[in-house]
A and B are shown apart, each in its own frame.
Chain A
Amino acid sequence: MHSFGYRANALLTFGLSILALMCAMASISDNLNHPSPTAQVQVLNINWFQKQPNGNDEVSMTLNISADLQSLFTWNTKQVFVFLAAEYETPKNSLNQISLWDAIITSKEQAKFWIHTSNKYRFIDQGSNLKGKEFNLTMHWHVMPKTGKMFANKLIMSGHRLPEKFR
């Protein structure tokens, strides 16, 4: 009854269940945080705007992104993945989401930033619908916890418009 094996087993089971409970509680504690991040994005310049040989429109732009995501960080936050996506509708597609820029933020100190950049991923349409197209720039963030449930949210900045002519 009180052999070494039984004691080891009981200890292991107890230790593992305590660990599991702590992980669950850390994940639940994230719900107590009500973040209020802010972000501003400006399209500073359309670098070029043309039709590819295969018929798809492509645009390159310079962006100025500033954001304060510090309130997303809790003690259970491992990293915040933040990205800026262009979102628009075309006759063919009910939704187009194209990531233009992203970053991995691993500490609260880095979570307040501003950056001046051209789009990191290519902004290519499926087809030729981008002339004069109105689009939203949406800042998305995905919070990865040290353990437990991941969560995400976004901030939509509407009212951006592409030029009427290729350049």
Chain B
Amino acid sequence: MGWIGETVDSIKSIQIRQVLTQAVSLGMIVTSALIIWKALMCITGSESPVVVVLSGSMEPGFKRGDILFLHMSNDPIRAGEIVVFNVDGREIPIVHRVIKVHERQDTGEVDILTKGDNNYGDDRLLYAHGQLWLQRHHIMGRAVGFLPYVGWVTIIMTEKPIIKYILIGALGLLVITSKD
């Protein structure tokens, strides 16, 4: 009867090892994704190096679902650049074009006015109540590059959370059941 006990033990030990390797490989995937994201943050100097366009206010240049690569350098902001900015009291950052710039002689501070290419008027209506200009600290980055459609994945996942859970579940199942 000794060999039965041995096999049971070996099966048990194999399963523990398998589970461990799978956990480690899953951890590797998650950490490498995190490393890439943080490295991008360091290189571009922007809190969020990649953003998804959520509205049609920059059409036909940027459509909903396109992704933009941001860069935040110390270069001064100039008219015509497409910047991503946060307005106090609004959660979602906005991607619009700079149409007016006033840069101070003494301090180098800037007053910026933006407008969406597809909007009729400028952005003063979107700013906080009584705010006429954006300052440097509102700006999260300027758009330097562009990739179409890829952002739809995120839009679908945030708007239809069920799909996200199905996807995560399926991937988890795949990881657990995979043999090697």
Closest CB in chain B relative to A131 CB, distance in Å:
18
The interface residues of chain A lying within 8 Å CB-to-CB of B61 are 78-79, 81, 104, 144
B78-131 contacts to A, CB under 8 A, are: 78-82, 97, 99-105, 108, 111, 117, 122
Is residue A146 contacting chain B, with contact meaning CB distance below 8 A?
A: yes
A131 CA to B80 CA, complexed, in Å: 26
* Number of A interface residues in the complex (CB < 8 A): 33
The 0/1 profile, CB within 8 Å of B marked 1, for residues 127-164 of chain A is: 00000000000001010111111101000000000000
Is residue A65 contacting chain B, with contact meaning CB distance below 8 A?
A: no
Chain B residue nearest in CB terms to A145: B146
The interface residues of chain A lying within 8 Å CB-to-CB of B146 are 144-145, 147-150
The size class of the interface chain B forms with chain A is 20 to 34
A49-99 contacts to B, CB under 8 A, are: 78-79, 81, 83, 85, 90-99
The 0/1 profile, CB within 8 Å of B marked 1, for residues 91-132 of chain A is: 111111111001010100000000000000100001000000
- A93 & B99 in contact (Cβ 8 Å cutoff): no
- B148 & A92 in contact (Cβ 8 Å cutoff): no
Most chain A CB atoms below 10 A, which of B78, B100, B101, B144: B100
- A121 & B97 in contact (Cβ 8 Å cutoff): no
Chain A residue nearest in CB terms to B78: A97
A102 CA to B97 CA, complexed, in Å: 11
The interface residues of chain B lying within 8 Å CB-to-CB of A152 are 80-81
The interface residues of chain B lying within 8 Å CB-to-CB of A39 are none
List residues of chain B with CB under 8 Å of any chain A CB.
60-62, 76, 78-82, 97, 99-105, 108, 111, 117, 122, 143-148, 174
List residues of chain A with CB under 8 Å of any chain B CB.
5, 23, 27, 78-79, 81, 83, 85, 90-99, 102, 104, 106, 121, 126, 140, 142, 144-150, 152
